[in-house]
Amino acid sequence: LRTTTTSLEQRLSNIEYSSFPQTFQDALRLVRYLGIQYLWVDSLCIILDGLEHWAQACPEMKNIYSHATTMLSAAHTSECIGGLFNLRDPARPSHYSSDDAPCLGPLAMRAWAFQDRYFSPRYLSFEATKLAWGCKSTGSRNRHKAANYKKLYKTWRNDIVSVYSVTRLAYLMDRLPCLSGFIAEFSSKINIEYLASLRKGDILASLCWNATQPFERPTEYIAPSRSWASLLSAVQFADARIVFGGISSRHG
């Protein structure tokens, strides 16, 4: 179920509950139960068949996720017909652990979902055998608020780029636009410009990356070859610093 230029007028007037796939129906029931007035669904709230509409919506995604009450994810299924809820095995003990990281399943490989859960203040992850909950004010999800330049750069390359590089997109041309929210966030913290995902003020360090698995270079252009974004592969950055000795000249 998606919104296009031809279906927009009908979407604005009415959408039959029965027309929603199971996951959307479950999400509507849940937000009503929680007393939340609005539900954002990317495929319904963004006009998907026009590049101009997508170009307008893409930079706003970070703000939409950041101001949401919570993110809901059907982590156990790759299709929107799988629903949020599963029947729990009554013979299986139920316990709470604050150390459990969400097992995001198929959703973990989706690039846009990575941005969703990073910027959302909270998330509810509906998984095959459990419900995981997370809050931005606790744990590692709050690390990007650090003011220290070195910590921010380490967060950028280790927590953002290295993780994002293994995700997948339906349209390769979205590889850099999907990072626009992260770039805006980090640029605002330390006033740095980025050129095709490389830091303008520190190009040398930004070039010290390598693919960590066999890679594929797309036939279509998605980023300059110097950028890690030009490959479809997991990448990592070198931790070592490169120091050049002084160069002197003698005339005479």
Task: Encode pLDDT of 106-137 as tens digits.
Answer: 777 788 888 888 888 888 888 877 788 888 77
Q: Does the structure show a pLDDT above 50 at 20?
A: yes
**How high is the pLDDT of residue 149?**
54
Q: Map out the domains of the chain as residue ranges.
A: 1-87+101-137, 142-240
What does the pLDDT read at residue 185? 78
Q: What pLDDT shows up at residue 97? A: 60
Tell me the C-alpha distance between 1 and 19, whole Å. 8
Question: What pLDDT shows up at residue 252?
Answer: 45
Report DSSP state, residue 194: E
Which parts of the chain are beta strand (E)?
71-74, 122-126, 131-135, 194-195, 198-199, 209-211, 235-237
Q: Which of 87-96, 118-127, 165-174, 190-199 has the lowest mean pLDDT?
A: 190-199
Per the listing, tokens 């179920």 go with: 1
Tell me the pLDDT band of 25, cut-offs 50, 70 and 90: very high
- Average pLDDT of the chain, as a whole number: 76
Q: Tokens at residue 25, please?
A: 């129906």
Whole-number pLDDT of residue 143: 44
With 0.75 as the threshold, say if the pTM is over it: no
Distance CA 172, CA 156 (A): 21
> In this structure, what token pair is assigned to residue 185?
């966030």
Beta strands in 81-147 (DSSP E): 122-126, 131-135
Q: Are 158 and 151 in contact (CB under 8 A)?
A: no
- Is the pLDDT at 41 greater than 80? The verdict is yes
